[in-house]
Structure 1
Amino acid sequence: MSSVRAEPRADGTVPGAEPAPRRRTGSGYGRYVAGRLTGAAVSLLAVLVTGFFLFRLIPGDPVKFMTGGRQVSVEQLAAYRREFGLDLPWWRQFTDYCGKALTGDLGTSYQFRTPVIDKITEALPNTLLLTGTAFVLYTALGLFLGTRAAWRGGGFGDRFHTGLALTLYSVPSFWLGLLLIVVFSVGAGPVPGLFPTGGMESGDTTGFAYVLDVAHHLVLPVVTLVAVEYGQTLLVARSALLDEKGADYLTTARAKGLRDVQVKRRHAVPNAALPTVTLVFVNLGRVVAGTILVETVFSWPGLGGLFYQALSVPDLPLVQGLFLVFAAAVILMNMVADLICPLLDPRVGR
């Protein structure tokens, strides 16, 4: 019996043939990138507008703070307001602020009388040292324990680490920081005071002794951040790996003779990496923002402590500048995560 060959349709397809899966083209990914860049720009603009109007609702008069409580005349107060543009209507202050911010000029701090950008660049390395060290530790710890707990799901280790992570993640960071100061700085019962109560350095060391001194001051705030933050990474990594654990391709991999550890490392963990990668980049954006409460509790001279000082005045240019930097870092890292995810999984963004 002769076979009948199916004739192609007008559109070039053959009846009965399954359509080939569509792959992400360069133009498709380009449109995806353009959409994410546009979204990031709109978000940054929203932050710019929100930051300007939000912090003007804070009670307090910055001009009276600048006078230091001294008796000054009405003319002197008016001169201060003219110097910093506070005598202008809000719409004029807003347009001036936006125009300068787009050129990198964040204004002049009321309390320090220096450009805001200079104060930010001065405190930024201290924040990166603290939050960057904590970020590396809690990310590595969370990923390791999360994948280990998920792969041995239901066991004692899984229940213990999941319960501990949930408990620590729900603890307020400032409360845990104060508790660590009481126990390990002041001393409680048989535990002597082992670490400084705050600050970044003792002020009387140089060279390698200075490095050790900074590391000594770094221990308690880093432990606070790691204890509070590692739980989130652990829970996300565990949940993602549990979703992949029962997949058919892992059964096929085992049937081909791969050992359990090879199945986990070569197949399960890479396929479960998408939500974890997103979380890591979000946390990376928060490294620049720092942790205001932890830096305040431990008197750490970073961006978080500077933000708290600026709020107490209120130092509007410094508060607005820090708020913009914090938000820009998070928006940028979210955008980077969005751009990387389609490269890890082509289904994203379709």
Structure 2
Amino acid sequence: MSTASTAPLAEGTADGPVPVKTGPSGPRARSARAYLLYVAGKLGGAAVSLFAVLVTSFFLFRIIPGDPVRTMTHGRQVSAEQLASLRRQFGLDLPVWQQFTEYCAKALTGDLGISYQFHAPVGVLIAEKLPATLLLTGVAVVIYSVLGLWLGTRSAWHHGRLGDKVNTGVALTLWSVPSFWLGLLLIITFSVGIGPIPGMFPTGGMETGGETGFAYVADVAHHMALPVVTLVAVGYAQTLLVMRASLLDEMGSDYLTTARAKGLRDDLVRRHHAVPNALLPTVTMVFINLGHVAAGSILVETVFSWPGLGGLFYQALSVPDLPLVQGLFVVFAGAMIVMNLLADLLYPLLDPRVGR
């Protein structure tokens, strides 16, 4: 008595049905291997990028004019022996190649050095300023990502109409405006006051001081208002324009015509078919914006005297405080690389063709 095969059968041929391979060499296994190779390639690329950041952060800021030791001792009577002693203390008397190897070895263990001007570990200084930056830019990124995606989708779906023209015109104008200039304009208008508009918001800082509980939260929100509006105005414009362009590329596709021919409502065609396929470029930009949460906005934080990483970077650059500048640069660039990597790893979940 013959035993029936339990393997699933494909379409028949002249010699009979052909079994579908479901074992280690089947389509599912090949897809898994392809995805693992895709992930490995992206991880390797991220590692190379991080090493390039270390190299760049070391050499880039050493071409800045100025002597850190002389800047820190400016206005004080300091002998040549004392200057030489300070250079030895900070390791500035070593050959450049030795400074570089020591910097890389310490950075790989998480040691970013000691700040010249604050005489404290760079990692501690960054940890102290990070919450203020996360609060400011985190709120701004969430607001302008949601706003940009929503308005970009509506503008593309109703392209050519009055609303699309107004949205696109405003977005193009705001995207071309320097963020520090917009911040200064808001300070002049709503902090100092101009004409009939009184000064309603503080000119800078994060808090007035002396407040607790809900009053403290309201005080911080009051100080955040103008810098958040500045970041949202520029950020939402970029998100809107990218989402609009991506969705317009999808709107002429055959699968949308087929979906409409099946009798699907227009809003279902947009939400379940067009928008998911148009999200890939926007996902990259949203994740890069999430990377900016760690980096903050140096110019906006400086204009509004916000006590975050942006203001700390400006202080370090004015010396230049090499360990602090290098450490902040590594944190800023590293956050961008990690967020870009996460976007790449998310792509196959949105579009199965990626990584196959």
For residue 287 of structure 1, report the CA deviation from its aligned partner: 1.2
Bigger Cα displacement from structure 2, 131-140 vs 239-248: 239-248
CA distances 1:187-210 after superposition (whole Å, capped 9, x unpaired): 000000000001111122222111
Residue matched to 1:318: 324
Residue matched to 1:16: none
Q: SS in structure 2 opposite 1:230?
A: helix
For residue 69 of structure 1, report the CA deviation from its aligned partner: 2.1
For residue 234 of structure 1, report the CA deviation from its aligned partner: 0.4
- Does the 8 Å contact 2:153/2:243 carry over to 1? yes
Q: How many positions carry a matched residue from both structures?
A: 339
Residue matched to 1:151: 157
Residue matched to 1:67: 73
For residue 110 of structure 1, report the CA deviation from its aligned partner: 0.4
Name the CA distance, whole Å, in 1 between partners of 2:355 and 2:63: 39
- Does the 8 Å contact 1:126/1:301 carry over to 2? yes
Residue matched to 2:7: none
254, 257, 261: which one aligns with 1:251: 257
- Does the 8 Å contact 1:127/1:302 carry over to 2? yes
**% identical aligned pairs:** 73
Unpaired stretches in structure 2, ≥5 consecutive residues: 1-11, 21-25
Name the CA distance, whole Å, in 2 between partners of 1:55 and 1:226: 30
CA distances 1:234-287 after superposition (whole Å, capped 9, x unpaired): 011111111222222222222222211111111111121111111111111111
Name the amino acid aligned to 2:14: A
Name the CA distance, whole Å, in 1 between partners of 2:208 and 2:251: 51
- Does the 8 Å contact 2:205/2:304 carry over to 1? yes
Query: TM-score normalised to the size of structure 1?
Result: 0.93
Alignment of 1:129 onto 2:138:
no
Name the CA distance, whole Å, in 1 between partners of 2:90 and 2:101: 14
Residue matched to 1:297: 303
Name the CA distance, whole Å, in 2 between partners of 1:147 and 1:334: 23
Name the CA distance, whole Å, in 2 between partners of 1:24 and 1:274: 24
- Does the 8 Å contact 1:24/1:346 carry over to 2? no
Mapping of 1:166-245 within 5 angstroms?
Answer: 166-245=172-251
| CA RMSD in angstroms, aligned pairs only | 1.9
Name the amino acid aligned to 2:218: L
Name the CA distance, whole Å, in 2 between partners of 1:234 and 1:153: 13
Residue matched to 1:272: 278
Residue matched to 2:313: 307
For residue 5 of structure 1, report the CA deviation from its aligned partner: 6.0
For residue 87 of structure 1, report the CA deviation from its aligned partner: 1.0
For residue 68 of structure 1, report the CA deviation from its aligned partner: 4.4
- Does the 8 Å contact 2:34/2:355 carry over to 1? no
Name the CA distance, whole Å, in 1 between partners of 2:51 and 2:132: 28
- Does the 8 Å contact 1:105/1:117 carry over to 2? yes
Name the CA distance, whole Å, in 2 between partners of 1:251 and 1:23: 34
6, 25, 43: which one aligns with 2:14: 6
Query: Does the C-alpha gap of structure 1 residues 255 and 5 become closer, same or farther in structure 2, counting only changes over 3 Å?
Result: closer
Alignment of 1:331 onto 2:328:
no
Residue matched to 1:48: 54
For residue 12 of structure 1, report the CA deviation from its aligned partner: 9.8
Name the CA distance, whole Å, in 2 between partners of 1:119 and 1:45: 23
Name the CA distance, whole Å, in 1 between partners of 2:50 and 2:337: 7
Query: TM-score normalised to the size of structure 2?
Result: 0.91
